[in-house]
A and B are shown apart, each in its own frame.
Chain A
Amino acid sequence: MTFLLVALCGGLGAATRFVVDELFRGRWAHEFPVATVAINVSGSGLLGLLTGASLYLDLPSGWLLVAGTGFCGGYTTFSTATVETVRLAQAGEYGLAAANAFGALALALGAVAAGIAVVWLLA
């Protein structure tokens, strides 16, 4: 049952990422892949909130698994982010490639820590 719910929420997360990415695509013309960065940072922030709720608010572990591993895992993506880094580098945009690779990581780390901290402060 848990496996099925994780899979369903993963599918929901991937569909959400697809729609968010398309919405960004219509409004952002620059070659820097801001949509994927926004998706990965917001998904990491949400996973931070869920982890905080599991640590400090006794959120049942099944919820963390389904919403965290399922939804947040399906919503965020490492493979697309990496392909976008490689494409920036192939286009000679090494600064943007490095910013995309390491900047997104730093922002995602900040988001996950902030998510956990917010729940800790409220709990």
Chain B
Amino acid sequence: MSPRPHLRPGLVALVAAGGAVGTSARYGLALALPHDGGWPVATFVANLFGAFLLGALLEALLRRGAESVGGRRARLGLGTGVLGGFTTFSSLALETDRLVAGGAAVTGVTYALATVVGGVLTCLAGVALAGARHRRRGGGGAR
């Protein structure tokens, strides 16, 4: 039996490096689109775009069939690392809490629900895009 991935320092380091890149991108977006107390645009954009990209990435990898070494590195480095670090659940929860606590309950609840529902929709769009691209290339594969 091969050791579980978390026991391999190389893969943990790959996820950490990806996470540093994704977190930097999210922080850069937050600096470019500062939160003025209204709709948290930066987190909203990062979460919806990140869900789209992860849906597309994982679907593209899945359609290649059995996971190769390179495929696993792409899934962990780009998916778990970069896109996992780029998107955030804690900021979504905190921003919603602060909006509601600050008297903007409607904005807070709308923001939270729009993120969750919008994320599912952009993720599905990513999955569909990767599927269409795979079919255009005449690929067979797992699905």
Contacts and interface: CB of A to CB of B under 8 A. Distances in A.
B88 A78 contact: yes
Contact of B27 (A6, A46, A86): A6
B94 interface: yes
A19 B94 contact: no
Contact of B23 (A11, A25, A109): A11
A5 to B, nearest CB: 10
A61 interface: no
User: Which has the most chain B C-beta neighbours within 10 Å: A82, A101, A112?
Assistant: A82
B40 interface: no
B22 A14 contact: yes
Given A14-B22, A101-B116, A112-B97, A44 B90 contact: yes
Contacts of A51: 94
User: Which has the most chain A C-beta neighbours within 10 Å: B12, B76, B91?
Assistant: B91
Contacts of B93: 40, 44, 47-48, 105, 108-109, 111-112
B89 A76 contact: yes
In the complex, which range does the number of interface residues on chain B fall in?
Answer: 35 or more
A75 B16 CA distance: 10
A123 B87 CA distance: 31
Interface in B1-58: 4-6, 11-13, 15-24, 26-27, 30, 47, 50-51, 53-55, 58
B83 interface: yes
Contacts of A112: 90, 93-94, 97
A99 B86 CA distance: 24
Contacts of A121: none
Interface in A58-82: 68-70, 72-82
Given A9-B23, A18-B6, A105-B116, A83 B16 contact: no
A12 interface: yes
B124 interface: yes
B51 A78 contact: yes
Interface of A: 3, 6-15, 17-19, 21-23, 25-26, 40, 43-44, 46-48, 51, 68-70, 72-83, 85-86, 89, 101-102, 104-105, 108-109, 111-113, 116
16 contacts: A6-B27, A7-B24, A9-B23, A26-B4, A69-B30, A73-B91, A74-B84, A76-B91, A78-B50, A80-B54, A80-B79, A82-B120, A85-B120, A86-B123, A86-B124, A102-B116
